[in-house]
Structure 1
């Protein structure tokens, strides 16, 4: 009898007891890490606003619905910068809301170059803005530099920094 109880105790100690947060489960985000959640929600074609909150902070993505909140960690040493280049219309934004932010240039081809102040090119690529009008990149934390965007022969540039407390949302980049 003692052997059976000991065996049950050993097996129970090896069993996974981690429960999936109901908010993540309900919205199809269970099993995703923070980076995957950000990239999934950024690219979703679901109409904004989403039925829940999702805010990208420096070290976590904060999901909320009513009074319930869950924070999912983001990769250490990386900072998400979501850019909504615009021609005519923009909005104020500091921490990127994956649930409500809507940029002007929806599903448009852009060329993005992100360069650090010491001249290192961190990103240089052709991209297409998502249905929310944003395009996002993971850059090293503790970096300062310039973001340049070209769109249909127009161009614009803004400075950026990725220190603690810096924004994850860039809505000031006008292409002219």
Structure 2
């Protein structure tokens, strides 16, 4: 069995307004804007946007968990939700809302693949799609240095082709995913500059 080792691809996936198509400069500006907005209350348009999609009163973690698990055919075409290291940016109807992610938490969404993938940096909960939706994979995520097991066991990949992990902030770990005799392994990071989307783990 050959283990395919890969590193996180430093390519940018999604901004608030465009899925899987941003430049590094766009991402930097959006992240800075999101951080500045995280402590402010939503505008009237932002409140209307959240109400329209039944997101009022829900935390960033709750929204992320819900949207990432949503069946692809039920994705709202008029909503964008981009996961950053510190906030979830929700936009649509000419409005934008920034929901803060707890400072000690990091969300990483991973799309292992066999044949096809796409470039991604900030995970888009409503546009990005991976190859292996609905498949069961065996997962092991072990913190570097300490050897602490962050998660392990069988996980079912969401309908969008991704599997999500809530991880401690500011750590590095080795992620190993296997499926039907094929294996991929990658070193992941959860610091402030790390991607929230990993699409370079080819099972081989």
TM-score, reference length from structure 1: 0.85
Match of 1:151 in 2: 179
The DSSP-based 3-state class of the residue aligned with 2:68 is helix
1:101 partnered with 2:128? yes
Work out which of the residue numbers 156, 163, 172 in structure 1 matches 2:191. 163
TM-score, reference length from structure 2: 0.74
1:22 partnered with 2:48? yes
Match of 2:65 in 1: 39
Rg bigger for which structure?
1
The DSSP-based 3-state class of the residue aligned with 1:96 is coil
- The runs of 4+ residues in structure 1 deviating greater than 4 Å are none
Gaps of 5+ in 1: 1-18
Q: How far apart, CA to CA, are the structure 1 residues paired with 2:106 and 2:138?
A: 20
**Higher RCO (C-alpha under 8 Å, 6+ residues apart):** 2
Match of 2:85 in 1: 58
Work out which of the residue numbers 155, 166, 172 in structure 2 matches 1:127. 155
CA offset at residue 145 of structure 1?
A: 1.6
Q: How far apart, CA to CA, are the structure 1 residues paired with 2:137 and 2:63?
A: 23
Question: In 2, are the aligned partners of 1:49 and 1:100 still within 8 Å (CA)?
Answer: no
Q: How far apart, CA to CA, are the structure 1 residues paired with 2:48 and 2:153?
A: 37
Gaps of 5+ in 2: 1-43
Question: In 1, are the aligned partners of 2:49 and 2:93 still within 8 Å (CA)?
Answer: no
Q: Give the length in aligned residue pairs.
A: 159
Question: In 1, are the aligned partners of 2:78 and 2:93 still within 8 Å (CA)?
Answer: no
CA-based RMSD of the aligned residues comes to: 1.7
1:82 partnered with 2:109? yes
